[in-house]
């Protein structure tokens, strides 16, 4: 689904082809996933 959406929007960032930029993008995505998982776990544990 994401590849199809990227193709339609032409949203690929050319500079992500560089190794350091790709590593930064991966790190940011990993951090965002961890934060969202933490928030979901907190919300789940706060429910009565």
Instruction: State the DSSP string of 16-39.
Output: GGSHHHHHHHHHHHHHHHHHHHHH
**Residue 2 banded pLDDT, cuts 50, 70, 90:** low
Arithmetic mean of pLDDT over the chain? 80
Report yes or no: 24 and 17 within 8 Å, Cβ to Cβ: no
Any idea where the domains of the chain sit in the sequence? 15-48
Q: What is the pLDDT of residues 22-40, one digit of tens each?
A: 788 888 888 999 999 999 9
pLDDT of 12 = 67
pLDDT of 25 = 82
Identify which of 7, 27, 29 has the alpha carbon closest to the alpha carbon of residue 19. 27
């Amino acid at each position: 689904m994401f590849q199809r959406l990227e193709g339609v929007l032409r949203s690929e960032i050319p500079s992500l082809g560089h190794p350091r930029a790709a590593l930064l993008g991966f790190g940011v995505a990993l951090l965002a996933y961890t934060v969202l998982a933490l928030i979901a776990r907190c919300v789940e544990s706060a429910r009565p």
